[in-house]
Amino acid sequence: MAESVAERQMEDLVAHDQTAAATSSVARRGSRAAIIASALLPVMLLAGILYLLVQRGTGLALAPPAPIERIEFERVELYPGEIRAHVINSGPESVTIAQVQVGWLNRASWEFTATPSATIPRLGRAVVRIPYPWVAGEPYEVVLLTANTLVFTHEIAIAAETPVAGGSTLGSLALLGVYVGVIPVFLGIGWLPFLRALPQRGYYFFLNLTLGLLVFLGVDALHEALENAALVPGPYQGIALILIGLSLSILLLYAISGRVKGREGSGGNGLLLAYTIALSIGLHNLGEGLAIGGAYALGEVATGTLLVLGFTLHNLTEGVAVVAPVVRSRFRWVHLLWLGLLAGLPTIAGTMAGALAYSALWSVLFLAVGAGAIIQVVIEITRHQIRESGTASLANAFNVAGFAAGLAVMYVTGLFVTV
């Protein structure tokens, strides 16, 4: 009985398929024009509706009761005797800056020039130069008033001269990058012989310590990206930038590592992982460098040595993270040099770029890309561990202790650098 029911159902299915096939062949025979028309019809209807909307309006009386204008400050620079504001019109209509005031205790109207024009089209930019005798270390407020009486304000927490692209400034910024990024990574790599001398458990302890470090770094980068996202001009959608940077960097790293794996076979996995970590930390350091340089440019870095010291200590662990996957494998020593440079050098580029042309947009993007890279690496290290020792070993006491130690190290050294 059961068999015959099944058979009948089978026959029905076959019949059904035949009908479907017949129908589709009819469709295939139908004119190609009809298919194209059916594809175009919704588009044409949409165009018609849009035309009507533009011609007749929405039918709702939505005329704004007050002018909708928005000016956002991208960057405010301070030069001797001059405040220079780079602004963008992020509103729906063009805006005219009619007056400028500078606040110290009180606001004062001030002369200004705006280039290319005081009238800024939508998404257009202008540079507003205010010949104001600001004094280092004082707080100021830059106030732009539009012809339609809207008021836009930017606060300068502590006035400090904006670094100019002179040799000495570039040099000291590069040096800052070296201290914050390059040296710590190589110091960390210097632990390789020690890591090699450790027994298996110790190695896993450090591998998980690396995981802890990376998770902390990733969360930290995301946190910073979210903070900076608030400073990104509205139309550029800071949060969307984070999403794009984060997901694309994860996918891109998988694509790259997949291709490299395919070429090398499974043998070079440890080294490949090391390079992936180095790249992701490099990306992270680029974002971090941008943030440091930007803070420096905005005069917000509490003067230096302790901060640099803190960052160095904080980033020491990045070197450990880079070499952790290759502790058990053999490779040419020159790889260590490349790994260190890959992880460390972007910091220099970041600090210089950040200080010379700070923009919240780029820092957000690079911080997000860095965070994505770190997430990818965390996943890869975990898989690497599973491959080498099986899932059972993942949650043992040494690993958990290592992970916790990683978080703790970052937290404690982070106390030095949290301004």
Binding site for another protein (CB under 8 A): 80-82, 96, 98-99, 101, 105-114, 117-119, 133-137, 145-151, 160-161, 168, 172, 175-176, 178-179, 183, 303-305, 308-309, 312
**Beta-carbon contacts of residue 335 (< 8 Å; ≥ 6 apart):** 271, 274, 326
Positive or negative CA dihedral for 46, 47, 51, 57?
A: positive
**Measured CA distances, 189 to 160, 228, 274, 340, 344 (Å):** 37, 31, 11, 7, 11
Whether the bond between 121 and the residue before it is cis, its omega within 30 degrees of 0, is no
Comparison of 101 and 385: residue with beta carbon closer to another protein: 101
Judge whether 226 and 242 are in contact, CB under 8 Å: yes
What is the rounded distance in angstroms from the CA atom of residue 30 to the CA atom of residue 326?
Answer: 63
Residue type, 375: I
Q: Which residues pair with 151 in a beta bridge?
A: 145
What is the rounded distance in angstroms from the CA atom of residue 408 to the CA atom of residue 412?
Answer: 6
Positive or negative CA dihedral for 271, 255, 223, 382?
A: negative
CA angle 377, 383, 385 (to 5 degrees): 105
Tokens 């509490």 correspond to what residue? 302
Residue 285 Cα to chain centre, angstroms: 11
What is the rounded distance in angstroms from the CA atom of residue 300 to the CA atom of residue 294?
Answer: 9
What is the rounded distance in angstroms from the CA atom of residue 269 to the CA atom of residue 276?
Answer: 10
- Could you please report the per-residue DSSP string of 106-162? SEEEE--EEES-SEE-TT-EEEEEE-----TT--EEEEEEETT--EEEEEESS--PP
Tokens 């400028």 correspond to what residue? 100
Q: Which residues pair with 152 in a beta bridge?
A: 144
Judge whether 76 and 85 are in contact, CB under 8 Å: yes
How far does the chain reach from its first CA to its final CA, in angstroms?
79
CA angle 405, 408, 411 (to 5 degrees): 155
What is the rounded distance in angstroms from the CA atom of residue 66 to the CA atom of residue 304?
Answer: 46
Q: Which two tokens stand for residue 309?
A: 């010291």
